[in-house]
Amino acid sequence: MSNMPGNAGTEQTTTVIIGTGLSGLAVAAELRRRGIDSIVVDGLDTSGATPPAVTTSLQRIDTADSATLQERNEILRHLRNYAASHDVDIRSTRAVQLTQVDGNPESTASPQWEVHTPTGVLVADHIVLTRCAQSQLRRMINDFGIAVGRNLAAAMRAIGIYLVGVGELITPSPKEVLRQAKTVGQAISAKVNPDSTAFPATGSLAMLPC
C-alpha cells in the first residue's frame, strides 16, 4: 500500500510502526481497519549504524509483559490472523535511524520523518514507537532540540510520534495496549481524514477485548 518515489530504496507511507509484537500489530490492525496505510518494521537496532549529524540513534529496549502469557498469545493470534487476511505490510527489517525532515509548510501531507533501515528509507507522516523506555524517548526528543515538559506523550504527538505499549516501570497489560492502539489509530485517522467517521470493528478484530 506504500508508494515508491523516484529514488531507489525509498518508500513513502502514512505511518511507520516500529515493533512487530502485540503493540505494533494492534496499531497496524487499527489503522488498516480505518483505511490508513502503514509499514511495520521489526523493532529497533543500532548495530552497524553510523548516524548522520542530524539523526538520532534508536536503541531497542525489551520490557517484560505483565499480563498472563495465555491472554497475550490469544490476542496475538487474532492480530496475526487479521494482519494476514488484510494484507498488513509487516517486514523483518529493523529501524536503525529516525531522522526528522523539513516538511512543506503549505502542505499538511508533507512527510515529517525518515526511518532508515538496512534495506532502504521509509518516509512517513507519523511514527508509532512500541519498544522504547520513556527515559530514552526524552533523550530522543531533546536530541531533536524540542523542549519536553511533564507530558512526554503530548510532546511527541505534537511532532507526529505516538507511543503504544510503552511504560516507564510497568509494562501495560494486553487490554491496555489495545486501548492505546485504538486511541492512536483514532488520532492518526483524524489527521489523515479529518472528515471521516470511524468504522466498526468486524471479523476477528471485533473479538479482541477492549
82-119 residue pLDDT tens: 999 999 999 999 888 888 886 554 554 455 899 999 99
Q: Where are the beta strands (DSSP E) in the chain?
A: 10-18, 38-41, 56-57, 89-90, 97-100, 113-117, 120-129, 161-163
For the chain, give the mean pLDDT.
76
Residue-wise over 102-140: b if at least 16 C-beta within 10 A, else e? eeeeeeeeebbbbbbbeeebbbbbbbbbbbbbbebbeeb
CA dihedral 125, 100, 163, 117 (to 10 degrees): 90
Please give the Cα distance from 3 to 5 (Å, whole number): 6
pLDDT score, position 169: 54
Domain spans in the chain, listed from the N-terminal domain onward:
10-195
Q: What is the DSSP string of 104-124?
A: -TT-TTS--EEEEETTEEEEE
Please give the Cα distance from 201 to 193 (Å, whole number): 18
Single-letter amino acid code for the residue at 89? D
Local confidence band at 34 (pLDDT 50, 70, 90 cut-offs):
very high
pTM for the model stands at 0.77
Write the CATH number of the domain with boundaries 10-195.
3.50.50.60
pLDDT score, position 35: 94
145-185 residue pLDDT tens: 766 666 777 778 888 889 898 765 567 788 889 999 999 99
> Comparing C-alpha atoms, which of 181, 182, 167 is closest to residue 61?
167
